[in-house]
Amino acid sequence: MLNILQIVFAIITVSLSAYLLITRDYDLIFLIVFFSGLFMLTKGIEAFQSERKVYGWLLIGLFLFAVYLSMYQFTALYDQS
**pLDDT tens by residue, 3-37:** 999 999 999 999 999 999 999 988 889 999 999 99
Judge whether residue 56 has pLDDT over 90: yes
Sequence spans of domains, the chain: 2-78
pLDDT mean over 73-80: 83
Taking the C-alpha atoms of 48, 43, 71 and 77 in order, what is their torsion angle to the nearest 10 degrees? 170
Q: Cα(47)–Cα(71) distance, rounded to whole angstroms?
A: 26
Write down the pLDDT at residue 81.
57
Whole-structure pTM value: 0.87
Write down the pLDDT at residue 1.
87
